[in-house]
Chain A
Amino acid sequence: MKLLKNNSFNILTFFKDNSVPVMFVLICAVCIPVAGFPLQYLLSEIITRIGRNAFLILALLIPIMAGMGLNFGMTLGAMAGEIGLIFVCDWRIYGIPGIVLAMIISIPISVLLGWLCGTIMNMAKGREMITGYIMNYFINGIYQLIVLFCMGSIIPIKHSDILLPRGYGIRVTVDLINMRQSLDNLIAVRIGMIKIPVFTFILIALMCLFIVWFRKTKLGQDMRAVGQDMEVARATGITVERTRIISIIMSTVLAGFGMIIYLQNIGSLTTYTAHSQIGMFCIAALLVGGASVDKASIGNVFLGVILFHLMFIVAPNAGAAITGDSMIGEYFRVFVSYGVITVALAMYEAKKRRAKSLAGRKLAQAQKEEAK
């Protein structure tokens, strides 16, 4: 009897701690049969999407470690990656060398943007997320200024086929045909209908190893210390501001690489819209995987990609089957993405506040005891 009670308690806490993933498993469990996709199709889609998105989501882990929350500013890295791809496309560098070159071009831009973002976030401590979020829009304006007005007029672009007909500014879509899936196809294994992009997976695995290793380095330890408590970290001699900026720079650079991997899989670049939602989707996926604002693991990334994208694939069809209108499913998945972020953010802040008041009460209690 006691054992049973204990057991049920455990299950309850398990559900409470993992409410978001559990909810998603339920949504998927309902939607998959309704949508009626063959299993093989679902599997191949999921594998493609892991290859496409996992790297981007991994880029979010480092700022979480440093206690800066979900890096809504990862979009800056995505823009840097896109600028790299535009140049590579203009210089006619094909295949993997093209992708490597685009990554190298993106590094200085990402570092600059990351530094800017980190500095501004340091000026807005405690409001990092909303600052990063507004930063997106701000830098997006500058990105448009550069790509839409400077490229082709001030910044030389040789080939007119990626320019707008008016002679300057990059076209709304840039074809990446010469780089399309060149990472995915480098070592591709086919099992039936399912294509496994082994090389992309190797890159993702390397990235995971890097993160595991990085946590153990001096810098990684510093970041965790800063994430735990800035004042304590400062007292132990860690340069808090610098550490925080570095974490954002790393995240931005990695997001740039991730965006290039993402776009080489898609095969074309929608110049002005590709990055606008990427941060939101990556963050939603990470949260669906059971991460929170202050704690995220590599496991969360993969669980998140699978669950979130499973929902994304089946929702339109399921919505159409249930309500007779496919738009419902489209809106539903957007709603769920935003809803998940809202719930996760609210739970985190509420928890933080509870912990704070608990600590306060304990302190008061201790003071009372002392007075006695």
Chain B
Amino acid sequence: MGETLISKSTLQKAVQSFGLPRLIIAGFLLSLFITAPFVGSNFFTQLSNTINRFGWNAVLVLAMVPMVHSGCGLNFGLPLGIISGLLGATLSIEMGFTGFASFVMAVVFCTPFALVLGLGYGWLLNKIKGGEMMIATYVGFSSVSFMCMMWLLLPYKSPTMIWGYAGKGLRTTISLEGFYSGVLSNFLAIRTPHMLIPTGAILFFALLAFGMWAFLHTKTGTAMTAVGSNATFARAAGINVDKIRILSVGMSTWLGAVGILVYQQGFGWMQLYMAPFNMALPAVSAILIGGATVNKASIINVVLGTFLFQGIVTMTPTVINNLMMVITGQGLDISEVIRVIASNGMILYALTRKSEVTR
């Protein structure tokens, strides 16, 4: 009797620490995987799609980690990093680099932009401690709409990127064929009839994730965690809180820039103008689904979250559609709506959790 009571309470505790919404989402995904074969979608194709999209998106989700660690909250300002990435990418193509070199050069070119923008952004966030997330959102939005003007005005010349008839202004989508489309995903890729594992992209992510993990265990990294968990205490311990926060924002921005490049090499297209606008929300909800909170995030959260989120993204359209076909006899693409509700519900849930941070 007593034993069952204890086990019940431990179960409850486990549910509590894991979070009910997270449990629902994980359960939902699991049921999707189970139903998939019954409604006629191949399990391995689904899994392979999920893994591929994981490869595209994981770095963008990783970009959340430094800012969460230093207590700056979720990086709703991810579009700023994406902008730097796009600047690097366009510059690399403009300079005439092709193939793998264009990817490397894009990373090289985006770095100064990411660092400068990140420093400014970090400086701003230091001025407004406590209100980071809302302002981050709008910093992202303003920078995207500002760059919309710049894409039209900057003197790009490369014929692959500019509008043919006008002779100026960048296109809204630019094909990366011949540039860095697939350079990571196809590197050492494992192909079977139903599966395609983008080894290169996953290795690249693993490299960055390992770097992040290693960094968090250096002196600066632990200082960052200290700042995030208790800023007053960190200050008392002689840590320069503002500097650490700026560093974390710079890292997040740079990872965002590299993240979009990785995304593009998988996707095969570069999207400019309003495209980066809402890219922060999926990344934010992905890391939250993975078990992060507003002030705590680990590499495991990133991996798990990206996998779960991308699983839902790839599975719901096909599985739900087929399921509806079986049940009602007509296709019903309700997946979009499920995704919107699930991911934003997750963010809402995270926001309502009490955070232990006192600033």
Contacts and interface: CB of A to CB of B under 8 A. Distances in A.
Given A335-B145, A338-B141, A353-B130, A328 B348 contact: no
A270 interface: no
Interface in B133-183: 133-135, 137-139, 141-142, 145-146, 148-149, 152-153, 169
Interface in A329-349: 331-332, 334-335, 337-339, 341-342, 345-346, 348-349
Contacts of A331: 145, 148-149, 152
B352 interface: yes
Nearest to A167: B330
Given A148-B337, A349-B131, A130 B76 contact: yes
A262 B259 CA distance: 41
A300 interface: no
B138 A338 contact: yes
Given A137-B340, A149-B332, A345 B135 contact: yes
A137 B137 CA distance: 14
Nearest to B131: A349
B124 interface: yes
Contact of A334 (B148, B152, B344): B148
A134 interface: yes
A131 interface: yes
Which interface class (under 10, 10 to 19, 20 to 34, 35 or more) fits A?
A: 35 or more
A348 B128 CA distance: 8
B128 A350 contact: yes
Contacts, number: 111
A174 interface: no
B351 A134 contact: yes
Which interface class (under 10, 10 to 19, 20 to 34, 35 or more) fits B?
A: 35 or more
A47 interface: no
A138 B18 CA distance: 21
Contact of A345 (B131, B330, B337, B340): B131
Interface in A125-148: 126-127, 129-131, 133-135, 137-138, 140-142, 144-145, 148
A338 B128 CA distance: 17
A335 B142 contact: yes
A252 to B, nearest CB: 16
Contacts of A149: 332, 334, 337
Interface in B312-359: 330, 332, 334, 336-337, 340-341, 344-345, 347-348, 351-352
A137 B76 contact: no
A144 B344 CA distance: 14
A349 B152 contact: no
Contacts of A232: none
A19 interface: no
B138 A341 contact: yes
Contacts of B134: 127, 129-130, 133, 345
A325 interface: yes
B25 to A, nearest CB: 14
Nearest to B352: A123
Contacts of B191: none
Contacts of A327: 152
B83 to A, nearest CB: 13
Contact of B348 (A120, A144, A323): A120
B327 to A, nearest CB: 13
A186 interface: no
A124 interface: yes
A55 B129 CA distance: 33
Given A127-B351, A145-B334, A342 B138 contact: yes
B345 A342 contact: no
B277 to A, nearest CB: 10
Given A124-B352, A335-B142, A337-B145, 4 more contacts: A135-B348, A137-B281, A349-B135, A350-B127
21 contacts: A120-B348, A124-B352, A129-B131, A129-B134, A138-B341, A142-B341, A149-B332, A325-B152, A325-B169, A328-B153, A331-B145, A331-B149, A331-B152, A332-B149, A337-B145, A338-B145, A341-B141, A342-B139, A346-B124, A349-B129, A350-B127
Interface of A: 120, 123-124, 126-127, 129-131, 133-135, 137-138, 140-142, 144-145, 148-149, 166, 323, 325, 327-328, 331-332, 334-335, 337-339, 341-342, 345-346, 348-350, 352-353
